[in-house]
Amino acid sequence: MEADTVPSRVAVLGATGAVGQTVARILHEQGSELVLLARDAERLAPLASELGAGHHVLTGAAPDAIRDALTAASGDQPLTGVAHCIGSILLKPARRTTVEEWSDVLETNLSSAFGVTMAAPDLMKQGGSVVFCSSVAASLGLANHEAIAAAKAGLIGLARAASASNARRKLRFHCVAPALVDSQMTEPMLARAGMREAAAKQNPLGRIGTPADVARAIVFLLDPANDWIAGQVLGVDGGFGVMRGVG
């Protein structure tokens, strides 16, 4: 991918997470101007300084909070891309999930993306691409994933509806749908005895995903050279979502 084909001005939400930080670094290397947003102020400021990026601390994930933060961070210059890398994980059956946990999963994963969708038409008047991070769990029934699967499936519906609503504005919405990725968020789960090996064995390609696997897919969907792709879900899952067994 040539440097002059990447989006010229991109906002990365969840920029201090494993995937968000990797997206930001790739785009920086390719010459994009960046606006970074995250909750962790202590990690956000040094990252923004390193990448010469604007930054804004997120104080909440409710739609209006995300909309207002993205608007404030963007300033007077239009955005040409938004990478929504905010997310969480909750592995519990519905009968053991509290109402508070359910609400938090929805707000973190889905409501925050709705806030981006609210803001995007005004901040991306020249068009561009918005990418959400869904999950293989959105389309593949996995035990103990009820809350997170519902939220991630909502992202797919949101992306497709928003793409339809904004197609004439040249504004496109997509999702990446990863399987298990090695990151700060999954570290406690992967630290359990035998879990890392079992997860790798379960994947058709024999390994767990990396933040770079997901980040490269996000950058591909952000690239204006790929502007005839809209409302799509790109599986970044080692084939886990579509096949089983080893040949």
Domain boundaries, the chain: 3-236
Residue 87 φ then ψ, to 5°: -175, 170
Handedness of CA 196, 208, 180, 244 (dihedral sign): negative
Query: What pLDDT, on the 0 to 100 scale, is given for residue 199?
Result: 84
Query: What pLDDT, on the 0 to 100 scale, is given for residue 189?
Result: 76
Alpha helices in 6-145 (DSSP H): 18-29, 41-51, 63-74, 99-106, 112-123
Alpha helices in 83-194 (DSSP H): 99-106, 112-123, 146-166, 187-190
The three-state secondary structure class of 175 is strand
The three-state secondary structure class of 167 is helix
pLDDT digits (tens, 9 = 90+) for 80-126: 999 999 999 999 999 999 999 999 999 999 999 999 999 999 999 99
Q: Which fold has domain 3-236?
A: Rossmann fold (3.40.50)
CB 6 within 8 A of CB 30: yes
Mean pLDDT of the chain: 93
Q: Is pLDDT at 2 greater than 50 in this prediction?
A: no
Q: At what angle do helices 99-106 and 146-166 cross, to 10 degrees?
A: 30
pLDDT digits (tens, 9 = 90+) for 159-171: 999 999 999 999 9
Query: What pLDDT, on the 0 to 100 scale, is given for residue 246?
Result: 64
Neighbours of 199 (CB within 10 A): 19
